[in-house]
Amino acid sequence: MVETAPNIDTGSSAQMANGAVAQSENNPFKDLIKQLESYLSNEDIQLISKAYEFGAKAHAGQKRQSGEPYIYHPVSVALILADMHMDADTIVAAILHDVIEDTPTAKDEISSLFNPTIATLVDGVSKLDHINFDNKQAAKAASFQKMMLAMVGDIRVILIKLADRLHNMRTLGIMRPDKQRRIARETLDIYVPIAVRLGINTLRMELQGLGLKALYPMRYRALSEAMRKSRGNRKEVMNKVEITVSAALEEQGVYSKVSAREKTIFSTYRKMLKKKQRFQDIRDLFAVRIVVDSVDQCYRALGMVHNLFRPVPGTFKDYIAIPKANGYQALHTNLFGPHGLQIEIQIRTEEMDQFAESGIAAHWRYKTDSEASLDAQSRLREWLQDLLELQQRAGNSEEFLENVKIDLFPDEIYVFTPEGDIIELPKGATAIDFAYAIHTDIGNSCMSVKIDNDMAPLSTQLSSGQTVSIITSSNVKPNANWLNWVVTARSRTAIRHYLKQLTNKDAILLGKRLLKQALLDYKIQIDEIPNNSLKIVLEEYGYNEINDLFMAIGLGIRMPKLVARRIAPSSQEDVSPQKDQNKIQIKGTEGLAVSYAKCCYPLPDDKIIGVASPGRGIVIHQYRCKNVKSALREADKWVDLEWDDQLETTFSAAIRVTTNTERGVLAQVASTIADSDCNIEHVAHTLGDNEGSNMNFVITVTNRKHLAKVMRRLRNRKNVHRVIRIRS
Ligand code: MN
């Protein structure tokens, strides 16, 4: 007779409403309580009972497809986890795992009624429910598994999700056949590999069996029928082997638990596929597990069974010395048993046995005393540490870390395209990285982004599970700022490539203008360069076409005057240059091929000169800047420039402001500058003399008049002693 749960408040109205349900013999809650009593404290069980009441109320009136009250499902999930001896928080979260998803109950409410850990666990499970695996993406299953692991901060979320899936698989029969197949495929592709990785083998085996049954019902039925038929004398053999082995070990003083079992239908099916064998040809249909006290006795037991039955050559595997990547340890060997049947023998210690059955969950088992206070992450670390030690003893720790750690603490995030494809990106990746990951053209024209249907800035960092949709526009161009926002090499390369192309385009235009100007000295129009002299020049310089030559000039690699001299017919060589008429006009729209010197910050109306700087194009200085003095001595290093009349851009200018040392002076100066329609690009404080302190500003202005106005305003402030423009 099953005892009823202690401390259930049967007085509440919800409980009354569910009274009939609670007493129904199908209600798994009684079994849950019974199981919990075997390992949890009364206090924990009270909390779990409270969760049951809460959940029953939240799901009141909802029914599963089978017609049963909905609450049976989460309680069954909790029971699966209780069988694994999971802690109270996990059990409570399992009972509540569908309340955020299916009812209006919010995370905050769970947090205040129970505790924040439980709220986080429930929320984590709900988030996983939002990502839907689609059959079309079977090939992406591996990414999907990683995505699930990447999304959870607490591995107990995965354990609840696995238990949830197991219960859904157990009750799958009620669904339409096509739905059954879809869920079964998802189970085998996504959930089983996760269970394998975490070493949760008992649960994994059941999922595999149920998955096979739902996906290939005919094959499953045929196989189980065949196994049933051939079972006849096998059962006898199994018993005999069990007794023989157990007696022999006892005689040698080795305490052991020996159990013979049939191999699962799934593993038999897989073996048939892998070895392309018919059922009749599969020889090792059952296994005998021997659990002993110590590692030492494992090897002794192995020697003894090899004495009893002849081993099958090449089948011995020492997973104790070299554990599997998920920590599985045992000795495996195949023996020739009676009647030509093969027997697989698995020998391991009690501890290894527990590990083999529940893997990581074994480390989450409810622990008493001080250990109970260990939080989830420390348990995970503890588990990893144990595995690491195992592997180090076996001498292959690197392989282990590759296998386990990467997937539990992934450095990647996984996001969806609107079509449901999964894109893998490094942690910290932004919407721009996402755009470039899809296609360079999308990246180059991305204007804005929708993350889970909400507009967001392009620089937003993405996180796993989000659906990301990029909005493009032909008006958008990548700019150098984007380089600060991207983390993938792919985006960075694409942006740099684009900017370089842009520079090249600008350089061609500028180069053409510079050459055109230089040719005026020889009274040659650029479109009238004689074909053969152009050909000779291009050949000499090693360019294929005239645009290459323009680009080289624009980038400051070739001097326009030298090129002009080469092009000009020798008869005109002594034409005297008429410099003043031949100045290039600077319009401020030359793009990246022209830059403004940061030593003297030339402004419109300043007298200027251009200095060719290989790779950087033409750098514009003030004519009186001391940095151009040496270039001026070589006629070919510089070009004459003047400002165009219509300039619509802004320029940088440098000023030094000397003030007294009163507090708040910087703020006053800054606001004066801002009030004059200027941006402050840069401020540097330099040491002043005894009069006060010096501040160097780089500000944006439209021309010299604008600058003069700002300086006048600054001088009018009472704390300002002196304002000067810095010219190199
Ligand atoms: Mn569920």
pLDDT band at 21, cuts 50/70/90?
Answer: very low
**HEC string for 329-364:** CCEEEEEECHHHCEEEEEEEEHHHHHHHHHHHHHHC
For 282-339, write each residue's pLDDT tens digit.
Answer: 777 788 999 999 999 999 999 999 989 999 888 899 988 887 777 788 999 999 888 7
353: CA distance to ligand 1 center in Å? 29
Highest mean pLDDT among 312-326, 422-436, 577-591: 422-436
In this prediction, residue 486 carries a pLDDT of 92
70: CA distance to ligand 1 center in Å? 10
pLDDT band at 204, cuts 50/70/90?
Answer: very high
Catalytic: 545? no
206: CA distance to ligand 1 center in Å? 17
384: CA distance to ligand 1 center in Å? 28
Secondary structure E strands in 480-591: 584-586
**617-622 and 594-596 strand pairing:** parallel
180-184, 516-520, 606-610, 653-657: the lowest-pLDDT one:
516-520
Name the nearest CA neighbour of 446 among 491, 487, 468, 477: 477
For 77-90, write each residue's pLDDT tens digit.
Answer: 999 999 988 889 99
pLDDT band at 166, cuts 50/70/90?
Answer: very high
On whether the CB atoms of residues 332 and 317 are closer than 8 A, the answer is: yes
In this prediction, residue 13 carries a pLDDT of 38
In this prediction, residue 333 carries a pLDDT of 92
Q: Is the pLDDT of residue 433 over 80?
A: yes
For 530-543, write each residue's pLDDT tens digit.
Answer: 888 888 888 888 89
Mean pLDDT computed over 451-464: 88
669 vs 662: CA distance, rounded Å: 12
Q: Is the pLDDT of residue 707 over 90?
A: yes
More confident residue, 165 or 22: 165
Which position among 83, 102, 129, 318 bears the catalytic label?
Answer: 102
676 vs 670: CA distance, rounded Å: 10
Block residue for tokens 């003399």: 689
180: CA distance to ligand 1 center in Å? 16
More confident residue, 706 or 636: 706
Block residue for tokens 């082997």: 241
82: CA distance to ligand 1 center in Å? 16
265: CA distance to ligand 1 center in Å? 26
41-45, 395-399, 633-637, 664-668: the lowest-pLDDT one:
395-399
Exposed e or buried b for every residue in 73-111, given b needs 16+ CB within 10 A?
A: bbbbbbbbbbbbbbbbbbbbbbbbbbbbeebebebeebb
176: CA distance to ligand 1 center in Å? 18
581: CA distance to ligand 1 center in Å? 84
- Mean pLDDT rounded to a whole number for the chain: 82
55-59, 76-80, 99-103, 443-447: the lowest-pLDDT one:
99-103
Catalytic: 398? no
Could you give the maximum distance between any two Cα atoms of the chain, in Å? 120
Question: What phi and psi, each to the nearest 5 degrees, are found at residue 630?
Answer: -70, -40
On whether the CB atoms of residues 681 and 699 are closer than 8 A, the answer is: yes
Q: What percent of the chain has pLDDT over 90?
A: 26
For 241-278, write each residue's pLDDT tens digit.
Answer: 889 999 999 988 888 889 888 888 888 888 888 888 88
For 631-658, write each residue's pLDDT tens digit.
Answer: 788 777 788 888 888 887 888 999 999 9
Which position among 83, 101, 129, 206 bears the catalytic label?
Answer: 101
Does the global pTM surpass 0.75?
A: no
